[in-house]
Amino acid sequence: MSTTTMTMEKEANPWESQSARFDLAAQKLNLDEGIWKVLRYPSREVIVHIPVMLDNGKLEVFTGFRVQHSIARGPSKGGIRYAPDVTLDEVRALASWMTWKCAVVNIPFGGAKGGVICDPHKMSMGELERMTRRYTAELIEFIGPEKDVPAPDVNTNEQIMAWMMDTYSMHMRQTVTAVVTGKPINMGGSRGRREATGRGIMIVCDEAIKKLGLSRDRTRVIVQGFGNVGSNAALLMHEARYKVIGIAEVDGGIYNKNGIDLVALTEYRQRNRTIHGFPGAEPAEPAELLVSDCEILIPAATENQITSRNADRVKCKILAEGANGPTTSAADEILADKRVFVIPDILCNAGGVTTSYFEWVQDRQGYFWKESVVNEQLEHIMITAFEDVVRFAETHGVNNRIAAYMLAIDRVAYTIRQRGIYA
Residues annotated catalytic, as ranges? 113
Binding mask 279-318 toward ligand GLU (x if CB under 6 A, else -) reads ----------------------------------------
Q: State the DSSP code for 190.
A: P
Taking contact as CB under 6 A, which single stretch among the options 68-76, 123-131, 352-360, 373-381 is the one that binds ligand GLU?
A: 352-360
| Binding status of residue 188 toward ligand GLU by CB under 6 A | no
- Min separation Cβ 270 and ligand GLU, Å: 23
Could you give phi then psi for residue 251, rounded to 5 degrees?
-100, 20
β strands within 133-281, DSSP E: 148-152, 220-224, 243-249, 252-255
Q: How far apart are CA 87 and CA 144, in angstroms?
A: 24
Q: Which is nearer to ligand GLU, 228 or 328 (CB)?
A: 228
Q: Which is nearer to ligand GLU, 78 or 110 (CB)?
A: 78
Q: How far is the CB of 55 from ligand GLU (least distance, A)?
A: 28
CB of 371 to ligand GLU, least distance (A): 17
> Taking Cα atoms as reference points, which of 416, 336, 323 lies closest to residue 103?
416
Minimum CB distance to ligand GLU, residue 112 (Å): 8
Q: How far is CA 305 from CA 224, 328, 340, in A?
A: 9, 8, 16
User: According to the binding rule CB under 6 A, does residue 352 interact with ligand GLU?
Assistant: yes
Query: What torsion, rounded to 10 degrees, do the Cα atoms 410, 416, 419, 423 define?
Result: -160
Neighbours of 142 (CB within 10 A): 16
Kindly state the smallest distance separating residue 107's Cβ from ligand GLU, in Å. 10
The closest of 369, 329, 356 to 105, measured between CA atoms, is 356
Question: Which one of 19, 43, 324, 329 is in contact with ligand GLU (CB under 6 A)?
Answer: 324
275 contacts 247 by C-beta, under 8 angstroms: yes
Member of 11, 90, 148, 153 binding ligand GLU (CB under 6 A)? 153
170-178, 209-217, 236-244, 348-356 -> range binding ligand GLU (CB under 6 A): 348-356
The residue among 341 and 358 lying less far from ligand GLU, judged by its C-beta, is: 358
Helix (H) or strand (E) holding 235: helix 228-239
Q: CB of 253: closest distance to ligand GLU in angstroms?
A: 24
Shortest gap between Cβ of 316 and ligand GLU (angstroms)?
22
- Show contacts with ligand GLU in window 64-123 (CB under 6 A): 77-79
Do residues 289 and 226 lie in contact, with contact meaning Cβ atoms separated by under 8 Å? no
How many residues interact with ligand GLU (rule CB under 6 A)? 12
Amino acid making up residue 182: G
The count of residues in the chain is 423
User: Quick check: 344 and 400 in contact, CB under 8 A?
Assistant: yes
202: nearest Cα among 247, 253, 238:
238
Q: Which stretch binds ligand GLU (CB under 6 A): 207-215, 347-355, 361-369, 405-413?
A: 347-355
Half-sphere exposure of 367 toward its Cβ, with a 13 Å CA cutoff? 2
Task: Decide if 403 contacts 389 (C-beta within 8 A).
Answer: yes
Closest to ligand GLU by CB, 152 vs 246, is 152
Q: Are 77 and 102 in contact (CB under 8 A)?
A: yes
Helices marked H in 88-174 — which ranges?
A: 88-104, 125-138, 158-172
Q: Which candidate, 113, 108, 99, 162, places its Cα nearest to that of 142?
A: 113
Q: Which residue is nearest to ligand GLU (CB)?
A: 79
Rule CB under 6 A: choose which of 96, 181, 328, 399 binds ligand GLU.
181
- Closer residue to ligand GLU (CB): 151 or 389: 151
* Residue nearer to ligand GLU on the CB measure, 182 or 253: 182
Q: Which of 356, 362, 375, 400 binds ligand GLU (CB under 6 A)?
A: 356
Build a one-symbol-per-residue string for 133-152: x at contacts with ligand GLU by CB under 6 A, - elsewhere. ------------------x-
- Of 253 and 325, the one with the shorter C-beta distance to ligand GLU is 325
d(CA 133, CA 138): 9
Is the CB of 157 or the CB of 310 nearer to ligand GLU? 157
Which residues are near ligand GLU by CB under 6 A? 77-79, 151, 153, 181-182, 324, 349, 352-353, 356
